[in-house]
Amino acid sequence: MITIVDYNAGNLRSVKRACDAVGISSVFTQDADAVAKADKIIFPGVGHARSAMETLTRTGLLQAVRHAFERGTPILGICIGAQLVLESSEEGETQGFGFIAGRTRLFRLDEPTLKIPHMGWNAVQVEQPHPLLASFPADTELYFVHSYYMDPLDTRHVYATTQHGIRFCSALGRDNLFATQFHPEKSGRFGLSMLARFATWDGTPC
């Protein structure tokens, strides 16, 4: 059973429908105890980073996710759920979980033809192998919608990159945590294959 963290950040039902499509049993919850004890966690979200962290703190979900990470629970972060695993975000000058050193930054693009938010399908280049990316051929097109991007300090945590004015980190990981700026639940068969792999992932990066 996969537990989807419900912190009023939206996109939960899309994630659950995608899990259903590949035969993954999942449930979303706001219960901090259930998250802390979960076998596997998907930490999704769309919205504003500061609002998300305020809700996570108020409900006890922040500490629950921290506890789950520390006990080795496999965790998949998506979109804001990925950005918040870093130490901080420029969106509302927000403190994140700090699971990975780095900062989430606002796109500042000099090219007038490039739009913010970055929205739509774009190629994802795998930079180093990971079990959740094993089915991805070179330059797999996946779906994005975001104005901020992840900027980890250590490139050893970068598993995939994407070009939008700059080349930015579109998937990062550390130990039992893997997080993507793209939306696997909206990315067709390759995104669904990643969710299916997460269902059997034991939390080790190789």
Residue of 70, 157, 183, 206 marked active site: 183
Exposed e or buried b for every residue in 3-14, given b needs 16+ CB within 10 A? bbbbbebebbee
Q: By the 8 A CB rule, do 162 and 168 touch?
A: yes
48 is catalytic: no
67 is catalytic: no
183 is catalytic: yes
Q: Which residue has the tokens 């979303």?
A: 28
Where helices occur in the chain by DSSP H, the ranges are 12-21, 32-36, 49-59, 61-70, 80-83, 188-200
Residue of 91, 164, 169, 185 marked active site: 185
SS3 75: strand
Residue of 79, 118, 130, 169 marked active site: 79
Instruction: Tell me the catalytic residues.
Output: 79, 183, 185
